[in-house]
Chain A
Amino acid sequence: MIKKILAILFLVIFGIVMYLATLRGVWGDARPGTKNITDSTMPFESSHERSPFATTLSLMDNHRFQLSKNLADFASPDVGIYHGKFYSYFPPAVSVWIIPFYEFGHKYNLAQVAAYFSMSLFSIGSLVLIYLISKDTLRLSQGVSIFNSIVFGFASTAWSYSATIYQHGMTVFLLLLAFYSAWKFSISKRSAFLWAIPVWVSYGISAFVDYPNVVLLAPVMVYFVLKATEVLDRGDKYGFKIKLSIVFSSVFLFALVFLHAYYNQVTFGNWKTLSNILPRYDASAATTQGKTTQQLEQINQKTSSFELLSEDRIISGAYELLIAQDKGIFIFSPILLVSLLGIIYALKKTTFEINTLIALAVVNIFFYASFSDPWGGWAYGPRYIIPAMASLSFFVGIAIEHFPKKWLMRVLVFVLFAASSGISLLGSLTTNLVPPKVEAVYLKMKYGYAFNIDYLSRGQTGSFMYNNFFRQNWSLLQYYEFILIILVVLAFILLFIFPLFKGEKVEGNFKWK
């Protein structure tokens, strides 16, 4: 137990240090109009950051979700129009969550930094949950369990989105929390009800974070429901037993669903209307100039968000998300290639939990491979499949513990980890605004992480810590190398030193229930 607490404590502290080291920020409130905040590498380089932040400002200043024209221009083009009023394209969870942190930071002239750091808390939470699932559910060794967390946190492009206010960190946290709670629910007797609550709540809140989460978390919910049912032989009858705790606790989900429907009804006039199907407002588009909001609303009408998904795109989308040079997960995080080996081993001794973790990755990749924009716009790596990165990181550990030639595997993993964390840190320290190849070729720009290397060599970063405390003495490259060395040393310790201690077998104890 002490080991576990120490491990969690380590992950929390390490997470805080690492995310703070790369957090994008500037002194002050960073309101629209603040100099340079929307430049590349800076905290508001993308409308994906500006749009939820605009809602936050509107909620604090005007106590409403509707954006003023000034805020709409700031958040554009991720802005929708409804009845002549402007709204963020994104569901409100991120905007609401950062409010208290923004206000707290305001007291110390660090409003934006505090708001952004509040999103890193979810990533830190995810590190802890990955460790707990690896250790408790999958019964992996201590070192490997910590390593799995580090793989997801700092050797995948999830890092780039943990130092800013994208929704992905929150999504992964809710997904892992739902899974871990569902597993705890399945093994608990007395506290089953208590563990069922976070599952329903996570699922309910996830829709406030990002609408597709309803689909992405579905495998966990299937696992949860099936774990609550049991077929019993009762002599001349069969008994289908359902744990009452799952039924009673579902009230939390219904409450959240009702709240969501109410939010939609009040804001958009219909309980079924989602913000991302509102007619788009793009302040910079030539077609917008000289038109009233009513005219724009008519012109940019959409019919359904289902149109954005099509089976036709699966092959090209899967290629893009998995192996394309400009976005592929295995190009940006080669360490995750090892997870494929881990999946093969895991399937030999498959369990419901293993199948659920695989299903989470498959559903995530399948869903966004069908999406009309699998690239995620201008983004660093395949940001839409960050939840799959979390699922796959478990299988890296399984491969390490199960591969017959332990040391060879650990050396391979170490090399791949070093490369992956180098790529990951590069994005985190520079910019997420990386064009997909289709646009980059047309614009005669670089694409993939080659695009970010230029930023690194120019010393261009939005890192609050570096710009304010290290820039005087270190070049950005030195700062980059320093962080990378820390990660590589940590990986070395976890992969090669940890197994030498008593109780940490190199052979592993791969024996999940």
Chain B
Amino acid sequence: MEIKISKNFIEQVKALAQSPYLIDAVLVLAVFLSIETTILSLAHGFIVAYGDAESHLNIPKRVVDSLTPGFAQLGGIWLPLPHLLMIPFVKIEFLYRTGLAGSIVSGISFIVASIFIYKLGYFLTKNRFAGFVAFLVFVTNPNMLYLQSTPMTEPVLICFFVLSSYYFIRFARVALRGKHKEEIDVLESGREVKYLLLASFFGFCASISRYDGWFLVLVEAALIPAIYLPYDKYSSVIEKAGKVKGVLSIIKHKLYLTRKNFTKLQGLTVLFATLAFLGIVGWFAWDGLILGDPFYFKDSQYSAEVQQQAWLKRNELPAMHNLPVAFGYYYVDTMANVGVVFFDIALVGSGYYLIKKRNALAFVVSIVLMIPFIFNVISLFLGQSVIFIPELTPASYEWRLFNVRYGILMLPGVAIFVGYLFQDIKFNGKLLLLFLAIVQFGLYASGYSKIVTLADGINGLSSAKRTGVETWMKSHYDGGLVLMDDYARSVSIIGSGIPMQDVIYVGNKPYWDESMQAPEKYAQWIVIQQNDAVWKGIYTNNYLRGRLYKYFVKVYTSPEVLVFERNSQVSSALNP
């Protein structure tokens, strides 16, 4: 049996796959998927499923609506850009209460990232359909789709990571002209500085989004000299003098850089670093000036490093100072986030790309796309972060699901390598990849592969712990200031309906400090959770507890949380 298809038709399909209008389809599809998933998340109450999601909304909200509004409310731990971007949206109460303020920022980041993944795929392969395949791998990833519907900061980082990588790779290609076979046009060759500046700017944005961005700009800065090394000269010297003598000769005669290149390199590196490192320097300055310690983000009681100490005491930091385990954790985490099938295809694709290209540009591309992997492995190894994932975390641990979303940062790299492999293999290989992609979605649909980022938000340690008190507050709160430890998340501000202007938390000076001496001074309500800052500051102090019970009445009791309301009779006696 034979089915005949006109070659003309095939050519038309091929032409369609290479159409410049494909980018319009990319935009439309990305916007559609972003909105669709956000609506789903909203309908199921998943937008603020993460404990951190609410905190990411509260920070910008405090900047504009708070007892003590101002930029100092940005704090000194989490980097400020995602919160700054949310400010216009959290001002609208509906967007703040639903979490959509964060979803808008994450959604736009997702859309921009997906467009540039398409562009990067196209740029590397000169094949629009390869870019489209990379784009599809990125935008159909359920973990990415879920995260882009939340106020979490990963989508913002991914956006700036992709943008910075895209321009850095374009810069590298121009800078490496003549070192490999690919020809570039005259117009492109004049854009070297422009691309570097754009890479630097977006690197700067990444560096004030998440700490991963710091590593990105550091690696990019380190790659600039590497790009300008005259490799061709080395090989001829080594060929003539032999390996050892050749290397010694290169060092002795300073052949590693020509004077002309060295001057240019100096200029470009300074240009890149000035803007790219501005965020890092600025953050040190901010912490020093506002919080009194340039290393506040690292040393304060709220920092990740200090939090890891608690895990260390429980002997539950398996990856710390153990490189293979750190590697294993992030490897498996990446696999769980990007999908086990796509992960394997990307592994093959990256190996294939490196072997086939074997040039400096391929090296730069691979290093840049692998930055999240290297950063996270180092971070786990140093004990600066922790990931618990059921595949590897021992059953004896109290929690086996935590911070799994970090693996999503490798999705852009995976998408690019899948796209590359797809365009470069034969028809049967393409069919096989298509079949495997269907298998991947089948694994998700059957529940075999979980949407790990969502699972962590619902059942993992990253999930917001709802004590039930917010429901009670929603129906009983009738105005007045509420003293609470927001860091301990004793009550959800979003869920309880308490206006942010009525909250006294540790960042409201002098309200907080004075309330810790005289709880009745400002607060109409006090929410205390076992072992939180209010508990430690007031409830465990006999004198202050006496004052608490003198001026307040306990109106809500649960195993974890107590709510006190100002005793109106005592209040009227004090303020007749």
Residue A247 at the chain B interface, CB threshold 8 Å: yes
What is the CA–CA distance of A244 and B3 in the complex, to the nearest angstrom? 12
- A236, A310, A312, A370, most chain B CB atoms within 10 A: A312
- Contact between chains at A311 and B5 (CB < 8 Å): no
Within 8 A of B (CB), among A226-241: 226, 231-232, 234, 236-241
Of B76-84, B245-253, B443-451, B475-483, which stretch is located at the interface? B443-451
One of A222, A234, A241 near B435 (C-beta < 8 A): A222
Q: How far is the CB of A252 from chain B (nearest CB, A)?
A: 18
Q: How far is the CB of A146 from chain B (nearest CB, A)?
A: 33
A232 contacts across to B, CB distance below 8 A: 2
Q: How far is the CB of A367 from chain B (nearest CB, A)?
A: 10
Of B6-14, B25-33, B313-321, B564-572, which stretch is located at the interface? B6-14
B504 contacts across to A, CB distance below 8 A: none
What is the CA–CA distance of A243 and B1 in the complex, to the nearest angstrom? 6
A306 contacts across to B, CB distance below 8 A: 446-448
Write the A297-334 contact mask toward B (1 if CB under 8 angstroms, else 0).
00000000011011111111000000000000000000
- Contact between chains at B6 and A314 (CB < 8 Å): no
What is the CA–CA distance of A77 and B1 in the complex, to the nearest angstrom? 51
- Contact between chains at B448 and A309 (CB < 8 Å): yes
A239 contacts across to B, CB distance below 8 A: 2-5
Q: How far is the CB of B348 from chain A (nearest CB, A)?
A: 11
B446 contacts across to A, CB distance below 8 A: 306, 309
B450 contacts across to A, CB distance below 8 A: 310-312
Q: Report the interface size class on chain A.
A: 20 to 34
Q: Which residue of B lies closest to A309 (CB)?
A: B448
Q: How far is the CB of A324 from chain B (nearest CB, A)?
A: 15
Q: Which residue of B lies closest to A234 (CB)?
A: B4
What is the CA–CA distance of A176 and B172 in the complex, to the nearest angstrom? 52
What is the CA–CA distance of A316 and B431 in the complex, to the nearest angstrom? 31
Q: How far is the CB of A222 from chain B (nearest CB, A)?
A: 7
- Contact between chains at A236 and B428 (CB < 8 Å): no
Residue A408 at the chain B interface, CB threshold 8 Å: no
Q: How far is the CB of B316 from chain A (nearest CB, A)?
A: 18
Within 8 A of B (CB), among A212-226: 222, 226
Residue A242 at the chain B interface, CB threshold 8 Å: yes
- Contact between chains at A315 and B7 (CB < 8 Å): no
On whether A241 and B2 interact (CB within 8 A), knowing A312-B391, A315-B392, the answer reads yes
Q: Which residue of A lies closest to B339 (CB)?
A: A311
B7 contacts across to A, CB distance below 8 A: 236-238
- Contact between chains at A241 and B1 (CB < 8 Å): yes
Residue B546 at the chain A interface, CB threshold 8 Å: no
Q: How far is the CB of A190 from chain B (nearest CB, A)?
A: 17
Q: How far is the CB of A415 from chain B (nearest CB, A)?
A: 30
On whether A238 and B448 interact (CB within 8 A), knowing A312-B391, A316-B391, the answer reads no
- Contact between chains at B336 and A311 (CB < 8 Å): yes
Within 8 A of A (CB), among B339-396: 340, 390-392
Q: How far is the CB of B425 from chain A (nearest CB, A)?
A: 13
Within 8 A of A (CB), among B410-447: 427-428, 431, 435, 443, 446-447
Residue B332 at the chain A interface, CB threshold 8 Å: yes
- Contact between chains at A310 and B448 (CB < 8 Å): yes
What is the CA–CA distance of A234 and B10 in the complex, to the nearest angstrom? 13
- Contact between chains at B392 and A238 (CB < 8 Å): no
One of B5, B336, B340 near A237 (C-beta < 8 A): B5
A307 contacts across to B, CB distance below 8 A: 447
- Contact between chains at B6 and A237 (CB < 8 Å): yes
B449 contacts across to A, CB distance below 8 A: 311
Write the B329-341 contact mask toward A (1 if CB under 8 angstroms, else 0).
0001000100010
Within 8 A of A (CB), among B256-290: none
What is the CA–CA distance of A243 and B7 in the complex, to the nearest angstrom? 22
- Contact between chains at B428 and A311 (CB < 8 Å): no
What is the CA–CA distance of A23 and B431 in the complex, to the nearest angstrom? 46
Q: Which residue of A lies closest to B394 (CB)?
A: A316
A241 contacts across to B, CB distance below 8 A: 1-2
A311 contacts across to B, CB distance below 8 A: 336, 340, 391, 443, 448-450
Q: Which residue of B lies closest to A228 (CB)?
A: B1
Q: How far is the CB of A365 from chain B (nearest CB, A)?
A: 13
- Contact between chains at B391 and A313 (CB < 8 Å): yes
What is the CA–CA distance of A249 and B3 in the complex, to the nearest angstrom? 20
What is the CA–CA distance of A11 and B105 in the complex, to the nearest angstrom? 69
Within 8 A of A (CB), among B447-474: 447-450
Q: How far is the CB of A117 from chain B (nearest CB, A)?
A: 38
Q: How far is the CB of A24 from chain B (nearest CB, A)?
A: 36
What is the CA–CA distance of A361 and B324 in the complex, to the nearest angstrom? 27
- Contact between chains at B6 and A231 (CB < 8 Å): no
- Ordered by A's residue number, 7 sampled pairs between the chains whose C-beta atoms are within 8 Å are A236-B7, A238-B4, A240-B4, A311-B336, A314-B391, A316-B391, A370-B448
4 closest A-B pairs by CB:
A312-B390, A315-B391, A311-B449, A237-B4
Residues of B in contact with A (beta carbons under 8 Å apart):
1-8, 10, 332, 336, 340, 390-392, 427-428, 431, 435, 443, 446-450
Q: A314-B340, A316-B391 are in contact. List 10 more A-B contacts (CB 8 A).
A: A226-B428, A238-B10, A239-B3, A244-B1, A309-B448, A310-B447, A311-B391, A311-B449, A312-B390, A312-B391
